[in-house]
Structure 1
Amino acid sequence: MAARAPWPADAVWFTSPEPKAARTARLLAGRDVPVVDDLREHERETAGLMPDFVEAVGEAFANPYSEIRPGWEPIAQTRSRVVAAARRILEEHAGRDVVLVGHGTAWTLLAAFLTGTEPDLAKWQALTMPDVVTVEDNTTMFGTRPVQR
């Protein structure tokens, strides 16, 4: 993935604190990457495998203000946390390309916010590990509608 990177060499990088994200960020950036706790994934306490995981996540998106499973963060709370973290990062690095390394549900929420669209669960389900979501904004952060690829 690093060999066909869609980001410029001088991009600034940030990662979720989760070990898989931090390791991926370090491998792709070729150096240590600052950790931002609020970029962590949708918090989901689960005991073992969940055979209905996809349905449960769909239910979480359909009921964004509810804890749809015990120990699951309401999806609206995830969105608020991740969007606020991205906003801070982008404001602090205005005019720079930013690479955020994290997780599918969090990025689905962030991409929907940045593009002014509803979260796309089909795209969420189609994500692979690792994968890239690109949102371009040639004007100002949150000012005009960026384009998602």
Structure 2
Amino acid sequence: MKTFIYMVRHGESPKTEGDERTRGLTDKGRSDANLISQLLKSERIDAFISSPYKRAMATIEELAQSVGKEIVVFEELRELVFIGNDQIMADNEVYPLVKQMFAEPDFSLPGGESIRICQNRAVGTLRKILEQYRGQKVVIGTHGAVMTLMMGYFDNQYDLAFLLKTSKPDIYKMEFEDEVLVETTRLWKD
């Protein structure tokens, strides 16, 4: 039985307010969320799931509301925790760190988690979603690193190089036959 997972990476988000959990979307991020809603409306989505982070939920919220669905939040789908206390890290700090983490999957900063730990928690949750929502179309509001780790578990072409080429937002439609990834299609056009 086919199940479709739509990985929706969040839109542009300011790194000047709140913390990793509470920062929302920029004006461009909100505008892109509207485009996502228009793009996916015809897909007849059955369920909406998200990371607990505000920017991920806000990116899929308009679409979920337009079809009368609630967003189910899964804590385990949160972004890779780079450093403790949900601190925001500037991009010029995050990108070198991400490269090191992909090269050394067990490396983490104090209070953070490793690539291996993040992938294990996220993939375990994705497998539960595939089981619970079998035969349905499911949107997942997500983040770049955790999305890449989930996709990479099923197909190793989704790696650091892939992550560095993704955009904010981005959309990947994954077709599964049971727990086997059959095809992935990028739906977002820059």
Q: Fold match, TM over 0.5?
A: yes
* Equivalence for 1:126: 165
- Alpha-carbon shift at residue 7 of structure 1 (Å): 6.8
- How does 1:54-73 map onto structure 2 within 5 Å? 54-67=95-108, 69-73=109-113
Distance 1:132 1:66, change over 3 A: same
Superimposed CA distance per residue, residues 22-41 of structure 1 (whole angstroms, 9 cap, x where no aligned partner)? 11121222243010100100
RMSD: 2.0
Matched residues, percent identical? 26
Tell me which protein shows more strand as a share of its residues.
2
* Equivalence for 2:77: 39
Residue ranges of structure 2 left out of the alignment (5+ in a row):
1-35, 186-190
Is this contact kept in 2: 1:111–1:148, CA < 8 A?
no
Distance 1:6 1:84, change over 3 A: farther
Distance 1:86 1:6, change over 3 A: farther
Superimposed CA distance per residue, residues 79-136 of structure 1 (whole angstroms, 9 cap, x where no aligned partner)? 0010011111110111111211110100000011122x15422221122221112211
For 2:140, what is the secondary structure of its paired residue?
strand
Q: Quick check: 1:79 aligned with 2:114?
A: no
- How does 1:84-95 map onto structure 2 within 5 Å? 84-95=124-135
- Alpha-carbon shift at residue 53 of structure 1 (Å): 2.1
Which of the residues 37, 53, 64 maps onto 1:29?
64
Which amino acid counterpart does residue 12 of structure 1 have in structure 2? A
Distance 1:47 1:26, change over 3 A: closer
Query: Partners in 2 of 1:47 and 1:18 — Cα distance?
Result: 13
Higher relative contact order by CA 8 Å / sep ≥ 6: 1 or 2? 2
Superimposed CA distance per residue, residues 40-77 of structure 1 (whole angstroms, 9 cap, x where no aligned partner)? 0001125652524212101101111121x333211100
Is this contact kept in 2: 1:14–1:100, CA < 8 A?
yes
Aligned pair count? 144
For 2:171, what is the secondary structure of its paired residue?
coil
Is this contact kept in 1: 2:152–2:159, CA < 8 A?
yes
